[in-house]
Amino acid sequence: MYRVSPFIVILKSLLAVLLRLRFRYNFKVWFFTIAESEKLKSRNNLKSNKMAILSFNGRINIAERIVTEKYPDAQLYEADGVASQGPTSDPNKIDQLRVVFRNSGNSTVIIESTGWGTFGEPVLIPYPWCEDVIIKWPVIMELDEATKFKEAAGYKSLFANVTLRNPLGPKIGNPYFIFGVNHTEPYIFVDTVTGKVHSGS
């Protein structure tokens, strides 16, 4: 009867142990690779979301930087936002923006958005923009906060446009976020300093 050499038995045992160790090592490498990949994906998604939710004020910051690089004396007058898809309750749907600046020599500079946080070239207009008071930038209140104040005060109607401005009259006060749907309905004013809300025209 053929007998297996003890040496071969030992060799087979060693090979079996080595194969088990290799399997465990490869599994650990695979497991940690997947885990690190998921972490990286999560970080990238978070970074992407932060970029996607650039605020109303954040977009005005970009507009101001572009304008003042070309016109150093320019000062913010107002920012007019429009929801291109129609009336909404979501401030992030205000996707089109026009920002107006007072400039030296009684002139005006206007810049318009071309995308979310991107703008075209500033346009110099050789006459003044009336009925506004210069806004001391930055304004602390954000549009989403103003929307919450509006709704908390009982004004839950949708809005199609929002303007940040400090009207010249009837008396000079704080800048407002002004919500509107069309010219036939009252506008809703939210004071950017006090959070007080009222309707008017």
* pLDDT tens-digit series, residues 138-165: 999 999 999 999 999 999 999 999 999 9
Length of the chain as a residue count: 201
pLDDT at 53: 79
Please state which of the ranges 14-23, 105-114, 145-154 shows the lowest mean pLDDT.
Answer: 14-23
Nearest to 75 by CA among 7, 119, 9, 129: 129
Mean pLDDT of 166-176: 86
Average pLDDT along the chain: 85
CA-to-CA separations, 66 to 39, 52, 97, 121, 122, in angstroms, rounded: 36, 20, 14, 8, 8
Residue 191 CA to residue 8 CA, distance in Å, equals: 88
> For residues 128 and 143, is the Cβ–Cβ distance under 8 A?
no
Query: How far is it, in rounded angstroms, from Cα 84 to Cα 87?
Result: 9
Average pLDDT over residues 83-99: 97
The β-bridge partners of 67 are none
Per-residue model confidence as pLDDT tens digits over 44-60: 554 444 445 799 999 99
Give phi and psi for 140, each to the nearest 5. -70, -40
Beta-bridge mates of residue 163: 80, 178
Residue 106 predicted with pLDDT over 90: yes
Helices (H) and strands (E) in the chain, counts: 3, 9
Q: What are phi and psi of 101, to 5 degrees?
A: -130, 140
Residues contacting 168, CB < 8 A, separation 6+: 130, 131, 132, 133
Confidence tier at 177 by pLDDT (50, 70, 90): very high
CA angle, 134 then 136 then 142, to 5°: 110
